[in-house]
Amino acid sequence: EMASMMADVMEALGIKRRGYVIRVNYRKVLDGVLEAIGLGGEENAGRRLTVLRAIDKLDKLGAEGVRLLLGPGRWDGGKEGEGDFAKGAGLNDTQAQAVLLATAR
């Protein structure tokens, strides 16, 4: 309802649809995505935290860097064996894609 109301306001201001983006930053939406990909429950609390930390690095690392952190992990030197290794959340490609789609900017 809020997004619809914001769209109505934008149109009333003369900004046509598709001329703006409404971004929703609501933790419960992301929690729902994490549950849908199998990361619900207390037993996955550590993996959820790793996912949230990876998402926080989107601006710094970009989507591909975050994809690596959502999956097996990432070498901070850019290539395997260079720099330190940050262990990832261990998500498969489908799970990682769902998280990236939910956090697209």
pLDDT in tens, 78-93: 778 888 999 999 999 9
Length of the chain (residues): 105
Q: Beta strands of the chain (E only): which ranges?
A: 73-75, 85-87
pTM passes above 0.85: no
Q: Which two tokens stand for residue 73?
A: 């992990």
18: left (phi over 0), alpha (psi -120 to 50) or beta: left
Q: Which of 100, 92, 101, 105 shows the shortest CA–CA distance to 55?
A: 100
* Nearest of 91, 52, 53, 54 to residue 69 by alpha carbon: 54
Please, which pLDDT band fits residue 12 given cuts at 50, 70 and 90? Answer: very high
